[in-house]
Structure 1
Amino acid sequence: MSSIAQQQIGTAIMSREDSVFSKVSWRIVPLIILCYVVSYLDRVNVGFAKLQMSQQLGFSETMFGLGAGIFFLGYFLFEVPSNLALSRFGAKVWIARIMITWGLVSAGFAFVKTPTAFYVMRFLLGLAEAGFYPGIILYLTYWYPSHRRAKIVAMFMSAIPVSGIFGNPLSGFIMDAFGGVGGWAGWQWMFVIEAVPAVLVGLVVLCYLDDSVAKAKWLSEEEKSVVAQAIAEDTKHKEHSAHALSAFKDARVWFMSLIYFCFVMGQYGLTFWMPTFIKSTGVTSNLYIGVLSAIPFLSAIIAMNGFGRSADARRERRWHLVIPALMGSVGFIVAASFTQSTAVSLVFLSLAAAGVLTCAPLFWSLPTAFLGGTAAAAGIAVINSVGNLAGFVSPYLIGTLKDMTGSTSAGMYVLAGSLVVGAIAVLRTPAKLVNR
């Protein structure tokens, strides 16, 4: 067979594969994005509630930061068991369970009156939501080979800025418009109203999501074979293990946890404190704060998807992580230095958001490039749970520094430093290990 004929056959195979994976994406991706939009909204809307809640309930900045962060202690404790349960019982049932329970807990925040109740409810919310994010990351490995996954994860994680774009103005509107209705404060109505979609979407997941390629009735047998062959080819180089404990013994898993911890420091420092950052520049209206807070997330959507597509096209992972991390660091430093100007601060908060929120989806192409089998379920959960402890450290640290200094600037400098450390750690990761 001539080389031209071989090229034509190869092109036809790739075209068919592209068509099948496009069909898979249209079926799966919109739903998981919707799930994550709802998840992230219910996770960080406490940052908006703070604008009224702290004053009405007498919470200090440190109390709020501690409460916001305690979410991640519950998240940490139940993360690995939850992901192993997903692997055992299937994504459909387990993700639906997660969403329905976190919706019910989130609504319960309307009844918080004391710091202790606030801490308990945040802990329970972490328990309820544990396993969702790493569960989706694991689920995507069932459907996409490594060289297609960075783009898909970036699309999935676009839910974070999308939740900011729509959720921040919505939260501000609810707090302003519903304040006093039925004797409730605006922040109480916000928690209840924004909890409803989690329960409803959880029911949709139960009816719509498929646990595996083999169970997908919307794919023909030939299309299932195309996906299965691509996954099989991709997993040849992975180290498969039937034992979850092997992930805990792998030094690379712990190094990945360190990198993710650094990036999550920046991510949650930004998303929990964005309304406070904007307010510190002199803006007072909750709705206006919500609208301005949406702007940095618009820049993040563009950056996340641009870097994700580029990383897949070039099959290069490290520099596609380092550059956004350094962008985020510069954004935090300059924004912290110009808090007297809303416009300047907003421009560099946008740069920070673009960098910080791009790091997370691209990061997951690193560990999923070498983890396989049951170790993948445990390893992804370990990395996510340890990394997300930064979600506890970051808001608590910023709140403490704000109480100590009266300014958010010191906390933003710490976030910038964390991103630099993460970038250096990425460069110490062997390229041959992750560039698939």
Structure 2
Amino acid sequence: MTQAQQDIERGVMNKVAWRILPFVTLGYFLASLDRVNIAFAALQMKSDIALSDAAFGFGAGLFFIAYCIFAVPANMLLERFGPVRWLALTMVSWGLVSSCMAAVSGPYSFYILRFLLGVTEAGFFPGVIYYLTLWFPSGHRSRAVAILMIALPLSSVLGSPLSAMLLLLDGWFGMRGWHWLFIIEGSPAIFLGIAALWVLPHSVSRASFLTEGDKTWLSGQVEKVPTEKTRASFSDIWKLFCNKYVLALTLIYIGGTSVTNGLSLWQPQIISTFNLTTMQIGFLNSIPFAFASVAMYFWSSHSDKTGERVMHLAIPLAVGAVALTSIIFVNALIPTIIILCIAISAASMIKGPFWALATEMIPARNTAMAIALINALNNLGVFAGTYLIGIIKGHTGSFTYALIPYLAISVVACSLTLWLGHRRQASPRIR
């Protein structure tokens, strides 16, 4: 590639990145915040509405069951109505449901609203991943996804102290702190969803911030949008569901997301066992996710720079498994925080390389459906892990052994990554 070509590429991708990534990353930040803010709300809410550990784990996990059920249908609608309009609708919908969590009055209303939150949010993340494939060529995709995924740890870095402070509003206008937490943290998604219709460009050809030369270059680099004739059917979905490589990719992804999602929901309660104040819990909870934000970006950038994906998945999964094994043998605050930093950072580091690998392996016409399917099946694993923590904690009275399910899936995911890397040498794309 000549210097002139490199300059064109750099200029176009900088324009695209600055226009799209801040907005969708903010959206994903709010999605993650509204998904996991029950972790702090639970410090007050569990006693108010009589939630046991098992009931909390089940209700928290119902989000992922709904997500699993509705992710694929949501993305069929995404292809029909267009990603921008669909993403706007999902943001407004989940913002309303998240705000309504303030009205929870018992276990059943908790279950219902958590399930509805999963329904309304199901189309957002796979929709954004699909949207990014329309704007970012393969060589830029891992970094783009990594920037998006930074929203996950950042939602805990910034959201933890924010949620802790909102709990201190307890008694304000006759409402509990956790009521204010849901109302204040849920409502911004509504306004962002409305703004999406004007901020996010609908297609390369309609992007007013690009010159005609920019549009020509970018259109030649990204894969074509599936047309009506090539949209995935239910037959395509079934073939993907039965494909061993898609299932392997799903289990690999579970190895990372089960750890990050599970600890996002349970970590404040783990830290609270050391008899700390609400604000101390808030700040300590943010530390592992701060490390994860930095590690995720640099690891994904290195993956893009080298073009290597497999070992960029296997190494963090192995490190995470070691960290999760170590936590069984510690019972002091500082070692626990250090191990949580390693475990969450390792699990977060796989996400950029994973989606880069997945979108490189999946045929273009099935990209949206495969992303939705992987994300949907992944959420079954996240639900199982979240619920198991509650059951194990309820039976043992401590979190010492509650993270063992995450250790097991990390080992499985690492092994499957190495197997997939070996098989990929013979067949670069899923057939």
From 91, 97, 104, give the equivalent of 1:99. 91
Alignment root-mean-square deviation, CA: 1.7
Using a 3 Å threshold, how does the CA distance of structure 1 residues 160 and 386 change in structure 2: closer, same or farther?
Answer: same
Kept in 1, the 8 Å contact 2:250–2:378? The answer is: yes
Mapped pair 1:65 → 2:57: yes
Query: What is the match of residue 186 of structure 1?
Result: 177
State the shift of 1:241 in Å.
4.8
- Counterparts in 2 of 1:109-258, with a 5 A limit? 109-176=101-168, 178-232=169-223, 241-244=230-233, 245-250=235-240, 251=243, 252-258=245-251
Kept in 2, the 8 Å contact 1:78–1:131? The answer is: yes
- Per the normalisation by structure 1, the TM-score is 0.92
Which deviates further from its counterpart, 412-421 or 307-316? Answer: 412-421
From 259, 262, 265, give the equivalent of 1:272. 265
Using a 3 Å threshold, how does the CA distance of structure 1 residues 25 and 114 change in structure 2: closer, same or farther?
Answer: same
- Counterparts in 2 of 1:15-94, with a 5 A limit? 15-94=7-86
Query: What is the match of residue 4 of structure 1?
Result: none
Query: What is the match of residue 363 of structure 1?
Result: 354
Q: Deviations over 1:197-216 (max 9, x none)?
A: 11111122122111221121
Kept in 2, the 8 Å contact 1:397–1:411? The answer is: yes
Letter matched to residue 108 of structure 2: T
Q: Deviations over 1:6-51 (max 9, x none)?
A: x6xx232122112211111011111111001100000000111111
Query: What is the match of residue 409 of structure 2?
Result: 418
Gaps of 5+ in 2: none
SS in 1 for 2:363: strand
Kept in 1, the 8 Å contact 2:15–2:209? The answer is: no
Q: Deviations over 1:249-288 (max 9, x none)?
A: 13122222222223322122211111012112x1421111
Letter matched to residue 48 of structure 2: Q
- Counterparts in 2 of 1:328-347, with a 5 A limit? 328-339=320-331, 341-347=332-338
Which deviates further from its counterpart, 407-416 or 110-119? Answer: 407-416
Q: Deviations over 1:79-124 (max 9, x none)?
A: 1111121122112211110011101101111111111111011111
Whole-Å separation in 1 of the counterparts to 2:125 and 2:260: 14
Whole-Å separation in 2 of the counterparts to 1:304 and 1:174: 28
Kept in 1, the 8 Å contact 2:388–2:405? The answer is: no
Mapped pair 1:14 → 2:3: no
SS in 2 for 1:93: helix
Give the aligned length. 419
Query: What is the match of residue 3 of structure 1?
Result: none
- Counterparts in 2 of 1:276-315, with a 5 A limit? 276-280=269-273, 282-315=274-307
Whole-Å separation in 1 of the counterparts to 2:251 and 2:406: 15
State the shift of 1:333 in Å.
2.4
Letter matched to residue 206 of structure 1: L
Which deviates further from its counterpart, 183-192 or 260-269? Answer: 260-269
Whole-Å separation in 2 of the counterparts to 1:273 and 1:135: 27
Gaps of 5+ in 1: 1-6
Identity %: 36
Q: Deviations over 1:382-401 (max 9, x none)?
A: 01000111221111100000
Kept in 2, the 8 Å contact 1:65–1:396? The answer is: yes
SS in 2 for 1:316: coil
SS in 2 for 1:17: helix
Query: What is the match of residue 387 of structure 1?
Result: 378
Runs (4 or more) in structure 1 with deviation over 4 Å come to none
State the shift of 1:226 in Å.
1.1
Whole-Å separation in 1 of the counterparts to 2:205 and 2:135: 10
Kept in 1, the 8 Å contact 2:255–2:317? The answer is: no
Using a 3 Å threshold, how does the CA distance of structure 1 residues 415 and 434 change in structure 2: closer, same or farther?
Answer: farther
